[in-house]
Amino acid sequence: MGLEVAVRLIDVRKRFRLAHHPVNTLKGALAGFLRRRYEDLWALKGITLTVEKGETVALVGRNGSGKSTLLGLLGRVYLPTSGVVEVHGRVAALLELGAGFHPDLTGEQNVLLNGVILGMRERDVRQSLDSIIEFAELERFRDAPLRSYSAGMVMRLGFSVAVHTRPDVLLVDEVLAVGDEAFQQKCLRKIRQFQNEGKTIIFVSHDLESVRSVATRCVWLHEGLVNADGPVEPVLEQYLQAMRA
Amino acid sequence: MIEDLKELWRYRDLVRSLVLRDLAVRYKNSVLGFFWSLANPLVQVATITIVFKYVLNIGIPNYSAYVLCAFLPWMFFQMTLSDAGESVLRHLDLLKKVYFPREALPISVALANLVHLLLALGVFFVYLLVLGVAVEPGWLLLPVALALQLALNLGLAFFVSALSVFYEDIRYLVGVSTNLFFYFCPVIYLSEQILVSEKIPQALRARIWEVYHWNPMATYLEWYRQLLLPRFVGKGIEDVPLAMHHLAIAAAISLVTLVAGYAFFNNRKWLFAERP
């Protein structure tokens, strides 16, 4: 059977400008114009990577190695400085759940808003409304303003909306590490369900246990480059060895 | 730009939801909330009316109706620009996480303020009934006036929202300059006063009248007044019908501002999330 490409990156580089003075003011801009005092920070220095449909790829690496930047590029939050980023199918990002929620709106209103922010049509969100709220176990709080929710409840709601957007490619940034035990189990079950449905998952995690239990492939990023790429165990071993050194 | 517009169309539900959220939050989901938001313009207009009627004795019957008729669209202009300054900044956290057409933010701000103006105009018509002022049939052209002012507001909102991300002073600059700009627009005075002012030499009046109408807001506020209210009657001052070429200038400036603003915004919108 021919393999379908879900994600393709060709020599992707990403530069951020690191400023050493406040640039977000006119005064700062003027100072910066007179003497350019910013530093180029290359978060990604030439990544070439192909992910096939149905793979679950774990990105590992130290802080600042470019993992989140890579997810940002795949989620179209950033444009690459050079190179090609191709993503086939509908992308959903489970990055910091609950971004875009408003404390004054009720749970239901927030679900409707968050669903369309994530790119759904409103009637589709309305159709999934009951199951989103049921999955988050928040039926009783449906009409309560979000400010009366606990942090865990907000997280559950955010996760529930994101997984109901019917994505083809799911980007997950450290979400598995938050919430209580029961919630984590629930996340994990949902992720397994996505895997069974043949969806592509790319996730960042510092929790190597979840990498071992979920991923089918592991990519080790180091200072903006791919250091190792392949089956989970050998890559993790190399990674751990380098960390110990 | 065509591609951007297509993508925006795919996300039309987002724009609608953002508008509804803005209104729901502003009115705090309550009926009284709407009246609270009207309190500010009403109190200002009442103050202006008292000053003009009893202190400066302008001698025009129902002067408050003429002031309010210009003040509500002025609020649409001012509120759109001040909200635009925060529209992208307030959502930076979201922008760093989720893809969506960034222009949905300033557009929803402009549209929410348009809805607010429409609600306020509804109250304005009731106010006219109370004053016993007849509503002119010209209100049928109101949608055209609103659409042109929306184009101007939105075009400026694109500039303001994009610039505010990189230069935080812009919001203060916009606040100060709209306050100054207020006096270049016929809100608390009638533009026709230029033509009869004793302080301006007779020879210059027509020139200044023309230059004054390079300001599209001046033309629009005049137009609203003439569409919605009967011609005012005053001592030594005459209601001058809106000149077509003034309207053409205003429409052209508004549409150019809209297109230029959208292009400016689009050139920068994928850098917002990278703001240092």
Q: pLDDT digit string (tens) for A125-148?
A: 999 999 999 988 899 999 999 999
Contact assignment for B95 to A77 by CB distance below 8 Å: yes
DSSP state for residue A66 in the 8-state scheme:
S
Considering only the beta carbons, identify the residue of A91, A104, A113 that sits closest to B28.
Answer: A104
Token pair recorded at residue B29:
């989901």
Q: Evaluate the CA torsion angle A153, A158, A160, A161 in order and state its sign.
A: positive
Higher-pLDDT residue of B34 and B192 is: B192
Mean confidence (pLDDT) of chain B: 89
The 3-state DSSP class for residue B187 equals coil
* Residue A98 burial class via C-beta count within 10 angstroms: exposed 0-12, middle 13-18, buried 19 and up: buried
- A20-24, B59-63, B87-91, B242-246: the lowest-pLDDT one: A20-24
H or E element that contains A159: helix A151-163
Fill in the DSSP letter of residue B23: H
Which of A77, A90, A128, A155 to mutate to test binding with chain B, by most B CBs within 10 Å of its CB?
A77
Closest-CA residue in chain B for A92? B98
With CB atoms and an 8 Å threshold, state whether B16 touches A19.
no
Instruction: Please determine, for residue A96, whether its predicted confidence score (pLDDT) is greater than 80.
Output: no
Helix axes B12-26, A122-135, angle to 10 degrees: 60
Rounded to an integer, what distance in angstroms lies between the CA atom of residue A245 and that of residue B221?
73
* B98·A104 Cβ contact <8 A: no
Kindly report, residue by residue over B22-80, the tens digit of the pLDDT.
888 877 756 677 777 778 777 877 887 788 777 777 778 788 888 889 999 999 999 99
CA–CA distance, A70 with B97 (Å, rounded to integer): 12
For residue A17, the model assigns a pLDDT of: 82
Q: Is the pLDDT of residue A21 over 70?
A: no
**Taking 90 as the threshold, does the pLDDT of residue B127 lie above it?**
no
The whole-number pLDDT of residue A105 equals: 86
CB neighbour list of residue B174: distance below 8 Å, 6 or more residues apart = B81, B82, B85, B160
Q: Which residue in chain A has the smallest CA separation from B96?
A: A77
A191 vs A159: CA distance, rounded Å? 11
Q: Are A99 and B97 in contact (CB under 8 A)?
A: yes
pLDDT at residue A1 is higher than 50: no
* pLDDT of amino acid A22: 60
B interface with A, Cβ–Cβ below 8 Å: 11, 13-14, 16-18, 21, 24-25, 28-29, 91, 93-100, 165-170, 270, 273-276
Instruction: State which of A176-185, B152-161, B191-200, B221-230 shows the largest mean pLDDT.
Output: B152-161
Position B31 scores a pLDDT of 67
Contact call for residues A20 and A39 (beta carbons, < 8 A) = yes
What's the mean per-residue pLDDT of chain A?
86
% of chain B with per-residue pLDDT over 70: 99
Give B210-229 pLDDT, tens digit per residue.
999 999 999 999 999 999 88
Burial of A216 (0-12, 13-18, 19+ CB in 10 A): middle
**Cβ pair B65, B127 in contact under 8 A:** yes
Residue B21 dihedral angles phi and psi, to the nearest 5°: -65, -45
In this prediction, residue A20 carries a pLDDT of 63
Please tell me which residue, B171 or B48, carries the higher pLDDT value.
B171
Computed from CA positions of residues B57, B59, B61, B62, in that sequence, does the dihedral angle turn out positive or negative? negative
Q: A54 or B39: which carries more pLDDT confidence?
A: A54
Instruction: Kindly provide the ipTM of the predicted complex, given to two decimals.
Output: 0.84
